[in-house]
Structure 1
């Protein structure tokens, strides 16, 4: 069977399988091949004359048509098979490329001999014709023709002399009475003249071809007289001679003295010579005809040879295709089965036929392999399901754990981590897995080094990490998973203790603030009253102007410094016991406008602009506390601008933007001052952490407490994040529209404050505006060029001296 593929039904991996051939098609190709070979052989035998059949033109054409029909049939079958092979390759079927290669190899093997034989045959025919029509052969044939022509010319010259002699004799006889009076005697005279010259025919005729007199030689010769129009061209001095190859040579001449009278004579040729002459002329004519038909002969021969060779070639290619199909089909079955095995189908089996020989053994081996793989796969699946069940249990435990957990293998790469760990280290799982721990969390390098070198199975410590400007304190525990040979892997547990540390610091500083407020505020009033009494009592007794000026300056300094200390103590008291917010329905836009207006009046040299995205902005909040927080943030922005050199700053600018985002109110304060520090930025929200030499470090802490009570927070950013290319800081106050984080409280409850707490007045309404304000505002302005290290001094005793108190507060 000639087919492009014969795939087992269980292995039909092609998306569009080839349709099965009908029985007629199965036998069509072998029948066509055998018929074509038989017709080619028969044609060769007939053309070479090996049979009694004459190779006539009709027979040759008949055989050519039969061979052409066979060739067309073979070409059609081969084209169909080649198309099926190419389609199989285009669809990516198994072994399609091998099939094409095998078919191409068989085609080349069949084509090359046929091409070589055709070239040799054509060269042989061309060389034979070249020899046949070469110079020596042509010369021999031409010489034979020349010899025959010379014989005829010799007879023509002889008859020429004879006819001229007879014409002269007749002309002389014409002068005698013999010609006119005695016709019988003249006939005898003419007969004697012809016989003496061996001329069997001698005839006198007029211009119309009418015979006037003829010699009676007794020799019978069928001759033809010249026509009248021919006679009109004959002269009396140059006879016309005609050679008749059949049997004789004739000549005619005009007779002088006789008007329009002509003499016609003829002489017989030797029959043997005439026969040879005819054969020579026929041979020369045949040679000339063959030479003129040389190209046609070559073409016809080449055509007949090409038809026979092409028939054999097509039959060989078809046989090669059949063999290639039988060779490739088992391989294709195995490749298709292997492809299904690669997709996980281990139940596939290739059909095995004994006629396939060694390929059948290969198919049986493949079937044994798939059976063994199926058995091993089932065992592995069972083991994998057990392991997967355990893994899911471990992942469930890890995902539900609040602590961050990271698994590190022996090479130091991260093998597993839970969601809490992703949030803590600021990297997604895809950015962490299979990456070195030193690239993901470099802060743990020292602890990992200790864990690898030490003998303890558990290493504990604390590290501080900074991600996107946010600092976090982590409690770290590293435990080694020890095997019989070495510590192959480690489990790292991370706990975020940032808020715990901050709460501890805030609580500790709250206790310090209460003790400072209690111990320092009590003696302040007596000191101030004493200074004022001294000024009233002894001020009049001092008469010397210089001494009086010094006296008043000293007493004013005491009173002023006492007021400054009292305001600082009030701030400590407010931080120690922040009043609970009273939530009422207010307009945030109105609060922003008032705060911006007050700061513009206090700082006319700065551009302070309010940008209200929606107006009004209703929300539930404590108007006094939010107004105080916003005012402190804007004031910090003005102080940050003042720290920038005038020639570098240009015009100071503060933008205050208020808007609503979902369920939150956002108030953004953007300045072009010195900006925020890049490191330890989150600690600015802790108490008594400041970057200014005279700052208390309580402003941002108080603002943060206010926003926390309103269900919000303060965010510290760079102005370049708000507006590209701008320097400075961007402070965002975010709190809930409903104020849900605060506990409801009446105004009467809010007024029950500690006797140590003095209500804070607006910074813009201080008694001495030109003086540097030291109470209320948050220290949010941070100098990137010069950052004071956060001060965390030990808590002072109640009787501590004043310089120590200043060191603790940062003023």
Structure 2
């Protein structure tokens, strides 16, 4: 619920409460009732309309939330209606009881016969006034008897004061038949104008018996809001007065309290009579007031119920949301907005503390997991970049995992082989029996070491060529935490080491052969030439021809043996490399100019040289020897009668990013269309005396390999076949990969530039 709507609700309820109090107070004040009650009633009705409008908006808001199935709406509605009923039902009962009580009280008020009592009190006052009037008349008659037979003007002031004091009169006078005053008391100066002038002849005629009248102005008030008391006037003729007829006048003023009490009784009677006439109106008035109070109370109860219910369910809604978040693994909860100290808030706080602790634990676990993943990634990166191939088998020799070096070493993607038995994997099957034997031997010999090692030669038959691989396998068994043991095989390709050892052995043999062969050649040649010189003139012509031919044959063979000895010596001698920045394409163009004379007649050479080829670090003289040798061999590999066709190409090679070698290399490839090589020749291609030529020494490619190895390059020989996969051999192909590549290209490399390896 919006906080502004809450504030508006609370303000409206406070306003309604204040208006109800003012309305109740207005019914108690008769003076301001007429002008205030209607205004307050209109304000209360307006407040009811405002609250009904707000509750209507609230009902629409709840209905929309119920249709949208918003969580907590049903609980909010149930709580609000329950709390509202707790306030509405007692309000209705109180309204009914109050209405009955007010009706009966009003009826009781009007059934008490107050009018009779007030009439009796008023009559009692009238009787008192009448007795005072009769008493005044009788007292005046006594005075007249005292003055009987005398003139009224003979009364002394002493007698007058005595009469005023005795009879409690406020004024006294004597006047003749014409109304002319004869005398009056000292305070009666105003009688002439106000009283005596009002005495008529009829009053004088009745004065023989005594005449009184009462001047009652109790409804009038003086300047101080005090009611005027009744005034009794009395006239009596003096019997047997000498001369003309004389009359006595006496005035008696009733006490102020008497006037006040009489006025109060008159006002009370008047009000009661007015109230009696408005009994039904009064009953309806109180019913309307109670109805307005009931409506405001019910609406305020509804509004307060929704506000209280909304506040009460906030912790429950938060707890439900937090439970769902915890169930999905999100422990970072929104802080509780409802403040308090009751048990429900304590439960919410406890759940929040638990979720916070779980969040801290989860973050710690995630941090540890990241560290483990980083360590695992680091281990995998180390394993992937190892030159050794790593294979992991379970105790049943089922392949579980491997690194990338194993794929490169065994020249096969081992991913489909995961879960297969080792003996059923073609590239690994030759290792199975030696490994089993090594494990049995290790088990039979009690040693502290848990490692064992074997060395095995593997042969990979390809469509183009056959590769020999010498593998050194070191195995180890370890027991995992689940109690099952696993076998780890670390495989190292020692083919280059074996090849280097074989090359060193052949080099030593070649050096000794060159020494042993070359030593007797010179004496043999000199002896043959000496025999020819000594015997030539002593023989016949036919014998001379035979001697010359034999001598020439001996000299030629000696020279051939000397060339062979030189080749042995060159093979045995370690090449001395003078590295410098070299453009391979430029070197090839320079070499190809030497073959332009025979182009199209003796052979055909096609060159496909890549543009923007990086520079390499190499010895130009030795690479010139390598390229001459390869081009010459490619031309000579063709059969007689066929025009030799040789294809040359260079390219830039992007190496695998996870390899420890340089990310770029320069490739060179030469291809012929001759007879190719047999698998036996391919298997020992770089060993001395391995040749397909009848007059060859078999030292050409071994020398080439020694030079390429000295340049830190790689050389491979294979047959290229028809349609890239068929067994029909089209010729031989030699690929060289130069790894020492410079970052500076041909366009901006100068003499003073410092070459840097990629």
Higher-Rg structure is: 2
- TM-score, L = length of structure 1: 0.40
- TM-score, L = length of structure 2: 0.42
